Structure 1
């Protein structure tokens, strides 16, 4: 995390976790169903951090599940957790719209639901206790500001978005496009294609863009894993020097590329903070504490100019 931390922080969140022992003699049983742990290192690191944080509290029992990117599987996992009568359910939605009915079912069963990392659709917000994670619309907007800065306010770019139907992908794309149109109308988006959070697929998407467009001034990717895939394609085609790359969720590979001057900027986000904040929020909800409906932690811009203020990501 930033060496001068301004996060709505996991440190504060862990203070809540630490109070659970004093507040309750009985274990709090928390079930979590995650999106797709194996798809990228962010989600893998998140799961490890979640398990580690839970293990530090003897009064917390967890059921840790992974949907593997399959919404039907996640709905089944939610139904199982409801049947188990866990105290709180944490869900990292595979599809923000499709999970709304089962979140409503948990709500009707009296089980509070905390949504983590990527929010559910607006019509489901009345059925959740809280959201814990980044403000993905703001991340997209901040990335647009970086792109505008990198290009000096004019040029043409391509966009590689995340997994279709996934709230984070939708929100980052919206935040980016809205802010770009508002503050940088001289930059035109030629085309948007999904990279599904996958580096290899994003490299293939970028290869197709390079064949289709003779002039590409910039690439915005919904996360740095995809962004580095795009960078690799451009390097292989000997066109990287003329393209500015901007991403979100600064991965270690993006951090390294930034240090080399190959990658212009990104948005710094910690999966450890993400996981710890979700667990702390779930505990606070169970304890009956007042919890904001939307618990955002800060995700600042990072470029080569200020990267010395940030620790290299571990994912």
Structure 2
């Protein structure tokens, strides 16, 4: 009997040790999983183009935030090609990223790619430009309508006697072009002594801004102001105006890139609407990390604007 009791005690002790080890292993495994969830997040960032200083700065802001969080950030450049952007996003889905950040080349064309991510249960966050379709958990951008209004109000204040205005639009179909133009016209269309005599797309590109402005100047000589939907187009327009000796034309851009701010400081450009692209990129990554952890995020996360003049 004593021998049986002793054997039972040894057996119970061994079982206790096994259970303890099992619990310890499970706890270690759980800790590793939690650590991986914090440090091993894979984020994809699809940028419309890296041939624009604004988006280069946005990318750098995202990279900084990802590095600080020990997250992996994969950046792909759509080169302003909607079809390439769709393929890039499909590649990110195949790579098994946890979240996709999208800066759409075209707000409508990007819809099918976002829907593909939705089907793969990968959350999507839009950056700077919104999407017309698909399920998006958050949108991080400046208030482009408000920025357009700021540009319009500046021109109205500067042109006391009124005059003709040229508007250089961004990529047709992009939310930024639509919204900046909308805000601008909310102000300008109410000014009885001002008229937009030419409105043409230059695709947010400096070289196109130059060529489009050159073409406009062939038929429109009496111009008092130019509003460009971004600084690259504004700088291109400025070059065309200077070539025609029209240095008194008020030129207003949007983004506050380094070149544009320098042009404002030198008195060549009148003003630019300052976005904070680095902050947009940082906020995008920080929001992505919250989404992965299951936290609730706002549908629209605004980034402040200011007038640089």
Query: Which TM bucket (shorter chain)?
Result: 0.7 to 0.9
- Greater Cα radius of gyration, structure 1 or 2: 2
Superposed CA deviations along residues 18-43 of structure 1, whole A, max 9, x for unmatched, are xxx98944511111111111x21112
Structure 2: gaps (5+ residues): 1-33
Q: Is the 8 A contact 1:133 1:277 kept in 2?
A: no
Q: Is the 8 A contact 2:290 2:297 kept in 1?
A: yes
Shift of 1:239: 1.2
Q: Is the 8 A contact 1:34 1:67 kept in 2?
A: yes
Match of 1:274 among 280, 293, 298: 280
Distance between the aligned counterparts of 1:90 and 1:256, measured in 2?
30
| CA shift in 2, pair 1:26/1:261, >3 Å | closer
Q: Is the 8 A contact 1:159 1:193 kept in 2?
A: yes
Structure possessing the higher relative contact order (Cα contacts under 8 Å, 6 or more residues apart): 1
Partner residue, 1:290: 296
SS of the aligned residue for 1:240 comes to coil
Partner residue, 1:108: 119
| CA shift in 2, pair 1:284/1:153, >3 Å | farther
Distance between the aligned counterparts of 1:195 and 1:245, measured in 2?
15
Equivalent residues, number: 276
TM-score (norm 2): 0.84
Partner residue, 1:6: none
Shift of 1:219: 0.5
Superposed CA deviations along residues 268-315 of structure 1, whole A, max 9, x for unmatched, are 112211211111111112222221101111111121xxxxxxxxxxxx
Superposed CA deviations along residues 213-253 of structure 1, whole A, max 9, x for unmatched, are 12101100111221121112111111122x11111111222
Match of 2:271 among 251, 261, 265: 265
Partner residue, 1:310: none
CA-atom RMSD in angstroms: 1.9
SS of the aligned residue for 1:203 comes to helix
| CA shift in 2, pair 1:28/1:190, >3 Å | same
Residue 151 of structure 1 pairs with residue 163 of structure 2: no
Partner residue, 1:132: 140
Aligned 1:62-101 pairs, distance under 5 A: 62-101=73-112
